[in-house]
Amino acid sequence: MAISLRCTKCKTNYRLNQKKCNRCNEPLGSKYQVRVKDPASAKFKSKMVDSLSLAKKVESKLKVQMLEGELFSQKKPNEFSFNRYLSYAKQHKKTWKDDESRWNKHIKGKKHNSSQGIQQILSDMQHLKPATRRHAFTLIRRVYNWHIQQGLWHQENPVKGIKLPRFDNRVSNILNQEQLKTFVEHLNQWENRRAALAILFAIYTGRRKGEIMGLEWQDISHDLQFITCRNTKNGETMSFPLNSSAIAVLREVKSLKESSEFVFCSSTGDYYYNGLSLAWNRLRKRLKREGTLDITSIRFHDLRHTYASHLASSGQVDIYTLKTLLGHKDIALTERYSHLSNERLKKSTEVLDTLF
């Protein structure tokens, strides 16, 4: 029955011809409940009103709404395309190549449009580092969010409800003090000055490879004290001070008298990104082969981690200063190095000793 008499005291429904409530003997007729079943969803919609005439109007309106919904609210088909997302990413993301590589390596060809499928993908990656699994999970979430925003995906993001276990993201793959000293000594003597100076600049400044390779002479102050990075990962233009070692590197670069807008350029004055990668890989292999230093597990980006880690462990640089020097937007990124500042923490506790 779509319309019922409602007892306001014991909340019981009765047929319209009922006069009194069988339970509490209360008179009926002051409240009416309208209850209509939606054939599409098999769910009921209900409404409480004060008169029978109004109840009939509400019943009629609910039935019309359900009929219209059945006729006109047909679900649109989902249109998923990673290539479409990638086209967008190429124009708006500096790290689109990472997205493409991760998708092709860990996700492509697998069922990623359901929570069960995503959990299976993560299960297949159990042998990999937690950070690698998290990157894949984040990529799936990002791609589906983009499809939802573009009106191409009409369901919830399939990653909803999936939680990855927390993992320790503290940085450990760095050059220790002895390794760093040996490496710098070798770079100072290496005949490939173009590559050696770029690597030394990374060690002394902690800048990312893309920032160093994109650095132009117009981005360096006249006295060589500051550089302006226009190609930062977070998309902002930022200026950073240089220490005396980095300034010495720039002076030597100037002495090479290369004809190029780029500070660290190829032999022809062009962008040196790929050339430096080749030189970096050859150098690591040669150092290991000669027995000088085994740093084959150290990536170029680990030079940035090395820079940050040694500053943090020095006890002289607080976490907020380090955040600024690294150009981090979020302090959480910088806190990966905070476990190395034990000496600074120890000195902080000794402040109490001065009070007694």
Euclidean distance between CA atoms 151 and 146, whole angstroms: 9
Going residue by residue through the chain, which has 356 residues, state the pLDDT in tens, using 9 for 90 and above.
588 988 988 888 888 888 888 888 888 888 898 988 877 667 788 888 898 899 889 888 888 877 766 555 556 788 999 999 999 999 988 789 999 999 999 999 999 999 999 999 999 998 888 888 989 999 999 999 999 999 999 889 999 988 876 656 666 688 999 999 999 999 999 999 999 999 999 999 999 999 999 999 999 998 889 999 886 777 788 899 999 999 999 999 999 887 899 999 988 888 898 899 999 999 999 999 999 899 998 999 999 999 998 898 887 888 889 898 988 888 878 877 776 655 556 666 666 666 66
What residues are paired with 14 via a beta bridge? Answer: 5
Euclidean distance between CA atoms 201 and 207, whole angstroms: 8
- How much is the pTM? 0.63
Euclidean distance between CA atoms 6 and 14, whole angstroms: 6
Where in the chain do CATH 1.10.443.10 domains reside?
177-346
Q: What is the DSSP letter of 39?
A: T
Euclidean distance between CA atoms 63 and 58, whole angstroms: 9
Euclidean distance between CA atoms 176 and 125, whole angstroms: 30
Q: CB-based contacts of 107: which residues, under 8 Å, 6+ apart?
A: 121, 136, 139, 140
Q: What is the DSSP letter of 32?
A: E
Provide CATH code, domain 177-346: 1.10.443.10
